[in-house]
Amino acid sequence: MTPRDHSRPNSRRRITELPPELQALRLERAVLVGLSDGRRGVTGEDSLDELRRLAETAGSEVIETLLHRRDKPDPATFIGKGKAQEVREIVRATGADTVIVDEELSPAQLRNLEELFGCKVIDRTALIIDIFAQHAHSAEGKAQVELAQLNYFLPRLRGWGESMSRLGGGIGTRGPGETKLEVDRRRIKRRISKLRDEIEGLEKTRTTKRADRVRSRVASVALVGYTNAGKSTLLNRLTEAGVLVEDKLFSTLDPTTRRLELPDGRPCVMTDTVGFVRKLPHTLVEAFASTLEEAIRADLILHVVDGVETDPEGQYLAVREVLGEIGAAQVPELVAINKTDLLSEVALARLRRRFPDAAFLSAQTGDAMDALLQRVADELPHPEIEVDLLVPYDRGDVVSALHAAGAVVKEAYGEDGTRLVARLREDQLGRLERYVVGRAERHARPS
């Protein structure tokens, strides 16, 4: 037996010294297949290139890519019979283990292609869920990924059920295989129900923490953006959070929240949310709704855009689409164009025309961080003003609304009405001006 070389701390170097016949087992050999209907940002070379990066992140070796131009997908094989035959020949010639299709396949399409190719076939949705499964570390992240997996596989059990039926000796869909299929389906539904309960319980914990921030008037900023745009690097730069940073898609999955102080002395909390991609599977959007709720509840969304990508506008719109799906489209947004240290003057000028109100920065070098924090402070709601109010007893609805908003500091009852000390924003103050009997100087939010 060859002794280990302890002088090399990087274990990946030792892997390359394996015999050739074992090195081939390290990665699945994958063929990528996509459709293009001529519409920008939906399919095509950019989408297929992103699929390559997703496949490599999942641990595959991409040996061939095919882009088929077709007006609409084929109901039976997605890519059409002729193209499917071509892919089969490539699989046989290259010895590929897996074919990855750049769309979500129906159960029938998935079954037909596997039978035709004679190898494993997965679609874009299954690939992204697999990557999420690799990168989930917290209890909530793992539960959310498992929920997404089960929601994805549940409607696809039928194909495997028919195979089990044949193995069990039944005819058609009868026999032991069908019984096994129904047992599996019931087991998955029970597990889905249990996972939803677990996630709901974990969400209550997050809600409690969020309520503490609301009561203490701490503003919240949600970092959103396309995966690999540099959100984690930016969070590390601003707060020294120590979040993992890698040049991979979805290198960080579980949200991280850190506190920082703004230039005007106010504290705020900043949360790094999960990265987005084009055609983010709805099963994942549903499963990660509780995590993405940080964006819904935030006072400000800091939308990080990768300035060096070939289609930053397309990535920006893809994130905005998902924000709309989760109900965060109306949250105030500040766009931050990242990686300016890698941009030419021409590219930078083009981005300034496309995003005239954006902040331009480099999270890697720390360039323009002070300017970014000042922009964040300007965009966040201004500190409250402490005021004395005298509300007549016949306007109990006003008192109730102030209590519901958590704005009441002190309360007493006098002859003319309810005396209140409350902290209000300027927009709230305008509606209650008639009840104001005194006010204090504007102050920063308490830490």
Query: Over its length of 447 residues, how does the chain's per-residue pLDDT go in tens digits?
Result: 444 444 444 433 333 344 444 443 346 899 999 988 755 444 478 888 889 988 988 888 999 999 988 888 999 999 999 999 999 999 999 999 999 999 999 989 999 999 999 999 999 988 988 888 877 777 777 888 888 888 888 888 754 444 443 344 434 444 454 567 778 888 889 999 999 888 888 777 666 655 555 555 678 899 999 888 888 889 989 987 655 555 555 555 566 788 888 887 778 889 888 778 777 776 677 666 656 767 778 889 999 999 998 889 988 998 898 888 878 888 999 999 999 999 999 999 999 999 999 999 999 999 999 999 999 999 987 766 788 999 999 998 989 888 876 678 889 998 889 998 887 776 677 778 888 888 754 444 433
Tell the burial category of 267 from Cβ atoms under 10 Å away from its Cβ (0-12, 13-18, 19+): middle
385-439 belongs to which CATH class?
Answer: alpha beta
Q: Please check whether residue 254 is in contact with residue 138, taking contact to mean a CB–CB distance below 8 angstroms.
A: yes
- Tell me the domain boundaries of the chain: 27-131, 137-200, 217-379, 385-439
Q: Among candidates 54, 382, 57, 339, which has minimal Cα distance to 225?
A: 339
Q: What is the pTM of this model?
A: 0.68
Q: Do the domains at 27-131 and 217-379 have one common CATH topology? A: yes
- For 142: left if phi > 0, alpha if psi spans -120 to 50, otherwise beta; the answer is alpha
Among the four given CATH numbers 3.40.50.10860, 3.20.20.70, 1.10.3810.10, 3.40.50.300, the one describing domain 217-379: 3.40.50.300
Helix, strand, coil shares of the chain, percent, nearest 5, are 45, 20, 30
Pairing state between β 300-306 and 333-338: parallel
27-131 belongs to which CATH class?
Answer: alpha beta
Distance in angstroms (rounded) separating the CA atoms of residues 98 and 126? 12
